[in-house]
Amino acid sequence: MPLPIPWSHTALRDFLSCPWSFHETRVTKRIKREQGEEAEWGEYVHKQFERRQIARAVLPPPLLTHEAYMKKIEAISGTLAVEQKIAFDKRAQPCGFFDQQVWFRGVIDWKKVCVPDRRATLIDYKTGKQKDDFAQLGLFALHTFAAHPEVDLVDTRYFWTQTGLETRKVYGRAEIPALWANYIPDLRQYALAFKDDAWPKRQSGLCNGWCPVTDCEHWRPKRLRR
C-alpha cells in the first residue's frame, strides 16, 4: 500500500475530478502531464509580477495595464513575501516544503503581514476565467494563522488578470475549525484511495480531450471549433 503523497489544492481537485487520472499522472506517473500554453502564460505573468514587486522592474508591454494594481497592493502596509512556498504536516503545523513529514504544499503569490494591525493580506494571481471558489485561499489563510500567531484577520484576494477585477474574502481566527471542516471529507476520501489502492474512473467533460490519460475508455478527442 503506497503512502499518500503530499497534496496541494490543485492535486486534490484533480483527484476529486477523476481518481484514475490522478493515479496515472501523479502517483505512478505513467502518463506525463504536459504543460499547455495557458499554464506557460500563467508562469510568465507570475514571474513578471514577482519582479515588479521585489525589484520594482517595469512590467513588459503585455502587462502594463496592471501597473495600477501593482501600485495599489504596493501601498498595503506590512512585511512582503512573494511566491512563498508553504507546507503543513499531518498535525496541520507549518513545516519545511521538502521536510520528510510534509503533507500539504502550496505557493502564496503575494503576502503581507502587518503586525501592528494583527492582519495579513494574501493575493493569488489568476490568469484563467473567474470562478467563485475560495478553497485555495482558505488553505493559505489556515497556514497564515498557524505560522503567524500574531495575526487575527487574513484578507484573501484573487486578482483576475483577464478582467482586472479582484474578488475577496476575509477570515477571522475563530473560523479555523470551520475552514478545516471544508477539506476534511475530501482528504478522508483521498487517504482512503491510497489505503485501499482504489482509483475509480470518473467520467466528465475533461474526458473530451483535456485528460492526458488517452488510453482510458472514456477519453475522446477534442472537438474542433468551427
Per-residue confidence at 224, pLDDT binned at 50, 70, 90?
Answer: low
Residue 2's pLDDT is 63
Q: Check whether 36 has a pLDDT greater than 90.
A: no
Query: How many angstroms separate the CA atoms of 118 and 143, rounded?
Result: 15
Residue 190 corresponds to which cell in the numbers above?
483521498
Q: State the pLDDT confidence band at 226, using cuts at 50, 70 and 90.
A: low
Which is more confidently placed, 37 or 123?
A: 123
- Model pLDDT for residues 43-88, shown as the tens digit of each residue: 999 999 999 999 999 999 999 999 999 999 999 999 999 999 999 9
The owner of cell 519545511 is 96
Over pLDDT 70: what percentage of the chain?
98
Q: What is the 3-state secondary structure (H, E, C) of 176-213?
A: HHHHHHHHHHHHHHHHHHHHHCCCCCCCCHHHECCCCC
Give the total residue count for the chain: 226
Q: What is the pTM of this model?
A: 0.92
The domain locations on the chain are 9-207
Q: Could you tell me which of 140, 137, 139, 141 has the C-alpha nearest to residue 159?
A: 137
Each residue of 142-178: b (16+ CB within 10 Å) or e? bbbbbebeebebbbbbbbbbeeeeebeeebeeebeee
Confidence of residue 209 (pLDDT cuts 50, 70, 90): confident
* pLDDT at 159 > cutoff 90: yes
Supply the pLDDT for residue 1.
52
At 165-182, the pLDDT tens digits run 999 999 999 999 999 999
Q: Which CATH class is domain 9-207?
A: alpha beta
Rounded mean pLDDT, 15-21: 97
Residues facing residue 7 across a β-bridge: 104
The candidate with the shortest Cα–Cα distance to 88, out of 185, 187, 212, is 187
Per-residue pLDDT for 223 more than 80?
no
Average confidence score pLDDT of the chain: 95
